Each structure stands twice: as C-alpha cells, then as structure tokens.
Amino acid sequence: MRSLSLIVILLILTSTCFSQIQISFPKDRSVFQRNNQNTALVNISGNFDGELDKVEARLVPVKSTQGVPTDWTIIATKPEGGYFVGALQGQGGWYTLQVRGWFNESIVIQGSVSRVGIGEVFMIAGQSNAEGVLDYGAKPSLDDRVNCFNYRVQDNLWDYPYFSSFSHIETNTMVGPKGQGSWCWGELGDHLAQRLNVPILFLNAAYGGSSSENWYSSALGRPTQNAFHLPYIGGAPYSGLRISLQFYASYLGIRAVLWEQGEDDSETGEDVYYNNVKTVIERSRADANKNLSWVICRTSLNDFANVHTNANVIRAQNRLIKDIANVFEGPYTDSIQVPRIEGVHFKNLGGTNDGISSLAKAWDTKLNDNFFNKSTPFLSSSLITLQASCQFSETAKLSLPGTFSSQRWSDNTTETSLTANKGSYYAIARDGVGNYFFSNTVNIKDLPPSTVPFATSKRNPNFCVGGNTELVTNDTHYTRFRWNTGETNNSITINTSGTFTVRGINSLDCFSPPSNEVITRLLASPPKPNIIIGNGPTVCEGSSVILYASGFGKSFWSTNDSTGSISFTKPGDYSVSVKVRDDNGCVSPPSDIMKASIKPRPEQPTIAQIGAFSLEAEQKVEKIDAYEWKKDDAFLTTRAAIIKSAKPGFFTATAIKNYAISGSQTLGCRSLASKAFSFIPSTEIKNLIVYPNPAPDGIIYLEARDDLSDLLLTVYNVSGKFVYSTLVPSLTERRQINLSFLESGKYIIRLQNSKFSESRNIWIEK
C-alpha cells in the first residue's frame, strides 16, 4: 500500500497537480477575536500524505478592501506523522486561508479554507428578545462577513456540544446554541462589519422566558423553574452561557457578552435584580477564567394590553453598568416600537415600524468606538498538539501534553491517552476551570515515514559459527533504526544464518517500510561437546569441583583454559561451557552450561552461657540451619542453637548450613567446631530461677534445673489479688514471659503443676 501511495504521488507531481492538504482547523467561516491592536493569531492544523520539509500559510483578503494580505509564512518545519500544527498572525479582515507543503524544494501539496475572519466575536445572553422569534420579519445579513454557528438545541446544552463549520446568517439561520433566526443580530452584524471593516460572529445562549432569578439560581447550581412552573434541566438557562463561553469562545476568543433581559422581571425589585445579574456576571467570569466585558441592555417592557415597564429593573441595570468594572451601557429598548403587537417582542411590520431593525440600530449605537477602545477582548486558545507515538509497533498511542482535568476523544473515550491501529482521532480537553481546548487530528495510517533505507554487509556474509559479519545502513534520512533482530544501531553484528532488513524510525517512534534483504549463512560446525563431572558439581568448601571435556578437537573453556579438564577449589558459583575447534577453524557450539558451586562453610560459632542452665551457639552474620553439639566428646541429640544442661562439662558446637542443590536434595556444609566451653552450673539454684529481677521492660525468663512440663504461671499483686495467668508447656529450655502490660511494682509469681509448686517475688520497672 505504501509503494502504491508513492506511485500515486509521483503521477500527481508529474501532471503538475497538487494533492490536497486536509485542513481541520480553522473551520470554514471561523472568526477569531482580534485584540485592540487589530491583530490575532489564526490557529492552523491539518493532515497530509507523504513527507514534507515545511508547511507555509498565508491570508488573502476575499476582497482587496477587506483585509491586509500576509506573505507566505512557515508554520511547521519537517512535520512528521502526516500532520502539522501552527499559527499565522494577521490583521482584522475577511480572508481565504491558503496552505502549501514543500518537499525537496518543490510545492507538492496545498489546501485552503475559503472564509476565515479576524474580527469581533459576541456572546448573546438573556431572554426571548435576545434569543429571537421566528417569522417576526427578521432580515438576513446582507454582508458576507456576518456569521454564526448554525445549530440549535431545544433545551439544555450538553458539556461536549456539537461542533462543525460556521455559517452566514440568513433569515432562518439558527444562531447557536439557542438563537432562533437572524433576529436583530444579522442586521447588527451588517452595521458593525461595514463600520469596523472586519467580520462579525455571534453566539447566542439566550433562553426565552427566563427571569433574572432563573439565571441567578442556575449560575449557583440551584434548581429553578420558569413562569409556567416547569423546571429547567441541565443547569439551564445559565449552563448554555457557561458551556458556550468555555467551548465556542475558547476556540474563537470573545469581545463581550451582550445581555438583553428584564422583560420577565416585571415584579422584581431593584436590589434583587441587581444582585441576580451581578452574580451571573461574576460566575461567568470565574467559569471562563476571564474578566469578560459585558454590555447590559436597559429593558423591562412586558405588557400584553397596556404599556408596562419596571423602573426598578432599569435602575438596577444602570447600577450594574455604573458599579461593575468592564460592564458597558447597552441600548434602552423600552421606547422602541411601543406599543408592541403582542406586548413583549419586537416585530418588523414594514416601513418605519420595523422594531427588530430598530433594535439592531440601537445596539449598533452603543457598540461604538468608546466601547471597542475600553472593552477587554480575549483571544482564542492555542491548539493542543497531540503527542503521537507508534511505540515501535503497528499500534499508535496518542496523548495530550500537559495536565488537563478531563478529555474526550473523537471516539468518545475519556482516558488520558488513546491506543489504536487505524482511524483518525482528535481530542477536546478541559482545564481545571472548565475551558475547552481543541487538538489537531491525527490519522494513524500517516504516522509511519515512507522513505526506505538501504542495508548491506561490510564483510563476507558466510562465516563459521562463532564468527560474524557486520550489516550496516548508511541512510542519512534517519538518525534511528530498527533491524528485524530488534537492534537499533545503524550497524549490527550477525553470527547466525538468516535474512535481515532494517527500518528507519522517525521522532514519533514509527517505522519506515523495511529495507532490501541481506542474507547471511552459517557454516557447519563441529558437534557440541559435553562436560563430564569428575567431582561435583556442588561441594562444600574444602573439596574441589573437577570437570572434563568430551568431543573432537582442541578444547576451549569459557574460563580461558585450553586443557582437557578444569577444577575449582575456592568457594563460589561457577557457570562454564566448553567449545572445540575443527581442522577448518570452525568452532563448535558451546556445550550446555555446567553450573558448579563450592559452598562456603559457615563461620566458626562461639558458645555463650545465657542462663543458669542454658548455653547458646552464636553466629555473627549467617543464618544457620542446625548445630551439632558435643559434651565431653560425646554427641548430643539436640540440633538447636540453645541447649540446657544441669550438669557440668566441656561443650563444643559445629554450625551446619543446608544448601538446596537440585530438586529436594540438600547439601549440608559444616563449620569448624567452636572452642570448648567449660560449663559449671550454679549449685545455689535448687530448681527454679526467674530473671532479670527487677525486669526493666516487663520481659522475664524462666529456667529450671529439672525438665518440668504442663505448668501454670499465676501472677498476684502485693495484696494477693490475682492479676494474670498463662500456661507454660515445658521448661526443657529457657522460656520467655511477656509481662510488659503490667504497671511498675512488686508482684508474686507462682509456677505449679501436679507435682511442683514454687513462688517468687518480681519487680517490674518501666
């Protein structure tokens, strides 16, 4: 398939035609908010086939008077993976975006977006005179530069709304996400575009019939209901404004929120309205993480029979304009088209009674030079460049750079990364505030590079076993390689028969097609020799391991010995093999590895008396499996580290350490015998001893001259009151008793069975 793609590209170039760049950003008719210096960055991303050295872009005015053309500007250098991401700065205007790609000093690919604007973006919010009403005589925009997102949701806007190309505002165009028809916004856009000579884009999050209380409560996440006592769902009406600010305005940037609301607050007091809308403004700024400019329309007229306005609402709207920074005066609409045909909504009736057109002119009057000079615009967010990696496999991994609070991929998965072996993918991520960021699109099939490297052998590819040849690629297109052996250097050493190819690796860890094949041949070798055990293979220190080689020819051990046998005498683990060389100079395969071991003997133990009748064999470091005891040259049956003796004598101990050698077999290695220990038991202790006394930590030890068993230990305080008891199975050896839970003081201990009973005083000191 890759070869076929290259042939197709060559045929296209031969016919002097260009392949098309698939431009994913910007969307057609996008308008990017300009700054107050009349400039903005246009974010650009796209996809292409083949390879490119660079990608250039430029802006060409749709009409010569509608912008300032830019020169061709490099927006990406040596893009890999079939995608590019960049940005181009331009001045306010209405443009065709042209993009072209170069390879080997020739233009090989190009694309365009017919309409892209740098101008003004407005978010509309409020109720029905902001949302618009269909079939009320609204006029379409006559200027090609007036745009919207042609989409409408009936109820609430979900957190990942629909997103596609933008549209010119026609009469019945939906000004998404909630606006109905062009309303006054198409005409207002005409006024602004002609006066400012830049394109205009409107987003409409207004909600018909909504009161200031509905906006206030929903902005705080509280349930609210409309005048018909029907609950708003999904956080509406405020959620539509929030999501539009975080989603669409993050992509485009924004100049201001245009607020037209108050008709549904006929009974609302001044302070209540003021606080309601002030809260909505503050919440919108926090949710957008921007000090958004707001323009407040002064409006309150709502009467189906007589003219009825609410001076409280107008005063509150004037206070909002006066008191809150970055809030501007909008039009006063209570005097427009009075009386209105159905009491609330404007309507174009023809002639001088066109209320909707009058509303557009009123807005245009207030969006004057003073407003544009003093308001604070916010520019679009930069595109996210996906981090793509083939992970040295046929499967690609896409991930987002940086840290986001959440993300959603174009396949609707929400993990931090996406793994796939085919298809095109993009991501929309959200930061900790909730603003959305849009990634470029990656087509998995375009990630691998197409240039094929070349491989060759530097030496004779036919060699004996044990010999080798060197394979090398001198391709300068890549700095990294992967051979079919798994090795990654530009040259590899081969010592087996086989067919070898190499692939180039680009910076995305993606493989090129495989190179030409290089075939190597391994010559016949002598048969594999065997190793014969003379002694071993596992012995204790003091013995030696002896190994012999069988086979034909001269022996060569892995220890560098060239004799017929080898031996080991020092403790350690040994892994050895042997080879033989025939008359042709070919060396046999190495024998099976023989593992041999000389296990070190344990350290010579020492003997210490640890109690009245107890001796202990001690080791400083090692863990010992058993001890062999002698008393007066006679072996004892015990194998423990601690023994008991009530009779004097000379004692020695030998440490034994067991090593697992094969299966369930063990090898016991013995230390040198300890020095003899002369033990003379105390004659003053008739039977029982309890120590230490006092016991500083509550731990005491019991020893008895005789081997007592089935004992009950009882503890009493000095008043004779029972405190504690425990069973002592036997006193054939020293026994530890933990009384650390007792308080400091004097106690009486009684130890008894059916034939024995003794008591001792004991002090516990903590």
Q: Contact 511/392 with Cβ under 8 angstroms?
A: yes
Cα–Cα dist 759/700, whole Å: 14
Does 724 reside within a domain?
Answer: yes
Does 641 reside within a domain?
Answer: yes
Average of per-residue pLDDT across 720-739: 90
Cα–Cα dist 335/660, whole Å: 102
Residues 230, 253, single domain; the answer is yes
Is the pLDDT confidence value at 685 over 90?
A: no
Q: What is the pLDDT of residue 14?
A: 35
Q: Contact 260/297 with Cβ under 8 angstroms?
A: yes
Residues 27, 176, single domain; the answer is no
Cα–Cα dist 642/627, whole Å: 9
Residues 671, 636, single domain; the answer is yes
Does 651 reside within a domain?
Answer: yes
| For residue 177, cis peptide bond before it (omega within 30 degrees of 0) | yes
The residue with greater pLDDT, 732 or 237, is 237
Does 186 reside within a domain?
Answer: yes
Average of per-residue pLDDT across 374-396: 94
Question: Could you say which of 446, 470, 492 is where a domain stops?
Answer: 446
pLDDT, tens only, 334-343: 999 988 888 8
pLDDT, tens only, 462-480: 888 778 999 999 888 898 9
Does 601 reside within a domain?
Answer: no
Average of per-residue pLDDT across 609-615: 82
Q: Total domain count for the chain?
A: 7
pLDDT, tens only, 526-560: 888 888 888 888 898 888 989 888 877 788 888 88
Is the pLDDT confidence value at 638 over 60?
A: yes
Is the pLDDT confidence value at 377 over 90?
A: yes
pLDDT-derived band of residue 2, with 50, 70 and 90 as boundaries?
very low
Strand order in the sheet with 22-25: 22-25, 39-47, 83-91
pLDDT-derived band of residue 296, with 50, 70 and 90 as boundaries?
very high
Is the pLDDT confidence value at 425 over 90?
A: yes
Residues 286, 393, single domain; the answer is no
Cα–Cα dist 347/183, whole Å: 9
Is the pLDDT confidence value at 481 over 80?
A: yes
Is the pLDDT confidence value at 644 over 90?
A: no
Is the pLDDT confidence value at 153 over 90?
A: no
Q: Contact 186/138 with Cβ under 8 angstroms?
A: yes
Residues 582, 654, single domain; the answer is no
Q: Contact 313/300 with Cβ under 8 angstroms?
A: yes
**By percentage, how much of the chain surpasses pLDDT 70?**
97
3-state helix, strand, coil in the chain (%, to 5): 15, 40, 45
Report the CATH number at residue 491: 2.60.40
Is the pLDDT confidence value at 422 over 60?
A: yes
The residue with greater pLDDT, 633 or 115, is 115
Average of per-residue pLDDT across 266-291: 96
Residues 169, 206, single domain; the answer is yes
Q: What is the pLDDT of residue 553?
A: 77
List CB contacts of 633: < 8 A, sequence separation 6 or more.
Answer: none
Cα–Cα dist 540/412, whole Å: 66
Residues 257, 392, single domain; the answer is no
Residues 145, 273, single domain; the answer is yes
Average of per-residue pLDDT across 105-119: 96
Residues 161, 193, single domain; the answer is yes
Question: Could you say which of 523, 539, 569 is where a domain stops?
Answer: 523
Q: What is the pLDDT of residue 307?
A: 66
Cα–Cα dist 750/760, whole Å: 6
Q: Which residue has the tokens 């991930």?
A: 399
Residues 495, 554, single domain; the answer is no
Cα of first residue to Cα of last residue in the chain, in angstroms, is 84
Q: What is the pLDDT of residue 66?
A: 97
451 exposure class (CB count in 10 Å sphere: 0-12, 13-18, 19+): middle
Q: What is the pLDDT of residue 591?
A: 87
Is the pLDDT confidence value at 275 over 90?
A: yes
CA 431 to chain centroid, in Å, comes to: 14
Question: Could you say which of 644, 679, 714 is where a domain stops?
Answer: 679
Is the pLDDT confidence value at 370 over 90?
A: yes
Residues 283, 375, single domain; the answer is yes
pLDDT-derived band of residue 13, with 50, 70 and 90 as boundaries?
very low
Task: Count CB atoms within 10 A of the CB of residue 292.
Answer: 24
Does 600 reside within a domain?
Answer: no
Q: Contact 426/439 with Cβ under 8 angstroms?
A: yes
The residue with greater pLDDT, 320 or 151, is 320
Is the pLDDT confidence value at 437 over 70?
A: yes
Average of per-residue pLDDT across 274-299: 97
Report the CATH number at residue 34: 2.60.40.10
Average of per-residue pLDDT across 442-459: 92
Q: Which residue segment(s) compose the domain that 738 sits in?
A: 688-764
Average of per-residue pLDDT across 171-187: 95
Does 303 reside within a domain?
Answer: yes
The residue with greater pLDDT, 523 or 602, is 602
Calculate the average pLDDT of the chain: 90
What ranges make up the beta strands (E) of 26-173?
Answer: 30-33, 39-47, 54-61, 73-77, 83-91, 93-103, 106-126, 146-148, 167-168
pLDDT-derived band of residue 5, with 50, 70 and 90 as boundaries?
very low
Cα–Cα dist 529/686, whole Å: 72
Residues 254, 110, single domain; the answer is no
Tell me the three state secondary structure of residue 631: strand
Average of per-residue pLDDT across 390-396: 89
CA dist list (Å): 336 to 268, 468, 578 = 22, 94, 105
pLDDT-derived band of residue 19, with 50, 70 and 90 as boundaries?
low
Is the pLDDT confidence value at 50 over 80?
A: yes
CA 145 to chain centroid, in Å, comes to: 41
Tokens at 563, concatenated: 């004799």
Does 266 reside within a domain?
Answer: yes
